Amino acid sequence: MGSSRLPGKPLLALGDSTVLHQTYLNAQKSGANKIIIATDHAQIHQHAKDFGAHAVMTKQTHLNGTERLAEVAELLKFSDDEIVVNVQGDEPFAPCPGILSLARALNERPIIPVASLACPIETLDDLNNPNVVKCVQDAAGCAMYFSRACIPYQLAINSENKNPNHYQFLRHLGLYAYRASTLKTYKNLKPSPLELVENLEQLRLLHHGLKIYLAMHPRPLPPGIDTLEDLKQANLFLNN
């Protein structure tokens, strides 16, 4: 609600409803057993209840969405094996196949606590863009590290704009699935130095030894709504 670039954006008009309602309607298509809207703002909470959603009020002190989910898991007494997928409230076009692939990834890997999405990086601009988070995997498909810098580093990429080893660079897509037991653990984990340096919350999990499985998605996620121009484009998309 307090977005500096687009104040009040969850309640702004999108199509024939609002950003939040469209995000909720899209999430319903995923087939999830429950869809819960977690917020620390009374207007968002009331709006969600008005269109029939299960809404939960949370504390205003959370540093990130994972901490908010951890509170919800505790308030609603989720069983430890419950799988929770986190979709941001300003992502009305989050792909349902991606949501499903994350839930399946954890369901098929009982010892993995967290799953997220990654896709191939196709352009040099994306590779060198600090707003595009890069990641690398181990042999089991789990993340080894995330960075805003180019990883792994290849001199030829930066000097000649070539990729002689034909390495497939990967982009991290900020959609996560957690086991409820992991959320209960997360709330007790201290922020890590790397998390603070890179401003990437997922590094807290790696720092404390928790595995993140990376499910592959064919392309970047549709953009969220961060600016007025984003909102205009989203309305055009829906209208057309």
Q: 173-220, pLDDT tens digit by residue? A: 999 999 999 999 998 999 999 999 999 999 999 999 999 999 999 999
> What's the pLDDT at 130?
94
Say yes or no: 135 and 206 in one domain.
yes
Say yes or no: 125 and 216 in one domain.
yes
Residues of the domain holding 202 = 95-221
Q: Is residue 66 part of a domain?
A: yes
Neighbours of 111 (CB within 10 A): 6
Say yes or no: 185 and 215 in one domain.
yes
Q: Is residue 36 part of a domain?
A: yes
Token pair 């994972």: residue: 66
What average pLDDT does range 118-134 have in this prediction?
A: 93
**Strands, E assignment, the chain:** 13-14, 17-18, 36-39, 54-57, 83-86, 114-120, 134-137, 143-147, 170-179, 212-216
> What's the pLDDT at 44?
97
Q: Is residue 89 part of a domain?
A: no
> What's the pLDDT at 98?
95
The structural domain count of the chain equals: 2
Q: Coil, helix or strand for 141?
A: coil
Say yes or no: 174 and 202 in one domain.
yes
Say yes or no: 111 and 207 in one domain.
yes
Say yes or no: 44 and 63 in one domain.
yes
> What's the pLDDT at 163?
78
Say yes or no: 116 and 168 in one domain.
yes
Per-residue pLDDT band for 223 (boundaries 50, 70, 90) equals confident
